[in-house]
Amino acid sequence: MPEIGNIKLGGTMVHEVPRGSRRANPDGAVILSKDLTPLDPNTDRFIRDQMLAPFIPGGRDIVAVPDPAVSDGNPGLALVPSLVKEMLADPDTLPEHSRTIAEHMFASQVGAASAGIFMASVGECGHGPSVIIMKAEHQEGVRMRHQGAPGSVSFDVEHIGELIVGKNSKVYKIAMLWVRDDGAVVGKMVDKQNGVAYADYFLHEFLGMDLRFNSEKLTRDLMDSATKHINANVDPDKKVRYTRALVALLESPNDEVNTTQFLTQFIDPEDRDDFAAALPPEVRAAFRKDTTLVKSRIGGIVLDLQEGEVQVRATRNAFDNGGVEVDPEKKQVVIKGLPDDISPSGPPK
């Protein structure tokens, strides 16, 4: 895999993608550029140093997946990976292909997606050619010019409503893609809008790719499916115990999850078959644990009461040492002790 460093921009196309998606905003139109956008040295350096280099090295590793719509025995690639191959083979295809990709982004976006500048460039990333795709916020601005000699200076103020990218612009989405030695399209993906998570539509629908390492997704899928099953199908007197076990599994220092071992050790025999059936097949085998996507959701337990009107949050230790108890027979939650502080708060989430 090429090292992510010494990023260089080559020919660059810039388009404007409207807010929302083709489905939610049928009257919206992508404003397409006809020709390459020349980048002077300062602009080139700003984009590389401020908008690409700080984020791409820490991006997620991704790989193109075969397009299931191709069924002639020789599966092809989704739109973006196939066009990436063509652009790397012939950079002169960048203008046409970038317009196609910009339209595809608007068609793939969800209804709440922000408007922004779409940039595509055939450049370099360390060891080889790569295609860089970025969506960023554009801003309006004011340009001030002065004229006259010192002591007699006047200023002209001009409002600039065209596309501007500045230090305060938000970088929404980035992908840097290249062709591996075995012919596979791989790369790095960054989703700045969603923090540690990422938008499924950007990775799957738009890029037509998947994570190269699925540990973080498998860990999240285990947590989501197990939590859903516990709340929907487990007897009330077992819910807290099973949830505590799930949290302990995800908090443990072990870097591997063995789901079969977890079920045998923590789930009662009469519940194991149903519990296992509720889990995705991919998480029933042992896999490497990666809590990146669930880090903010472990370390404690949340009890929702009275249809969400009351919410009790506590660490797992508070349940383990009896500070918080759930009594299913009396249908009550018991909290032992007086609060250290009481203050106003927003409503339960």
Position 337 scores a pLDDT of 81
Q: Please give the distance of CA 233 from its chain centroid, rounded to a whole number.
A: 30
Contacts of 41 (CB under 8 A, 6+ apart): none
Report how far residue 125's alpha carbon sits from residue 145's, in angstroms, rounded to the nearest whole number. Answer: 38
Q: Residue 35: helix, strand or coil by DSSP?
A: coil
pTM of the model as a whole? 0.65
Strand partners, 64: 209
Cβ neighbours, 10 Å, residue 2: 18
Q: Which residues of the chain, if any, have pLDDT below 70?
A: 1-5, 67-75, 127, 138-146, 148-169, 194-197, 343
**Taking Cα atoms as reference points, which of 259, 236, 253 lies closest to residue 291?**
253
Position 159 scores a pLDDT of 45
Report how far residue 262's alpha carbon sits from residue 173's, in angstroms, rounded to the nearest whole number. Answer: 37
Q: If you search the block for the tokens 């550029």, which residue do you land on?
A: 33
Structure tokens at 74: 């020789």
Position 167 scores a pLDDT of 60
CB 130 within 8 A of CB 228: no
Strand partners, 135: 118, 173
Q: How many Cα atoms within 13 Å fall on the side-chain side of residue 110?
A: 8
CB 98 within 8 A of CB 77: no
Locate the domains of the chain by residue range. 7-212, 216-335
Contacts of 208 (CB under 8 A, 6+ apart): 64, 65, 67, 77, 78, 79, 80, 81
CB 344 within 8 A of CB 326: no
Structure tokens at 262: 């977890």
Position 2 scores a pLDDT of 44
Position 160 scores a pLDDT of 47
Contacts of 2 (CB under 8 A, 6+ apart): 125, 126, 127, 128, 130, 178
Report how far residue 69's alpha carbon sits from residue 71's, in angstroms, rounded to the nearest whole number. Answer: 6
Core vs surface per residue 121-142: b (16+ CB within 10 A) or e: bbbbbeeebbbbbbbbbbbeee
Structure tokens at 328: 């299913």
Report how far residue 144's alpha carbon sits from residue 193's, in angstroms, rounded to the nearest whole number. Answer: 32
Structure tokens at 98: 């970038």
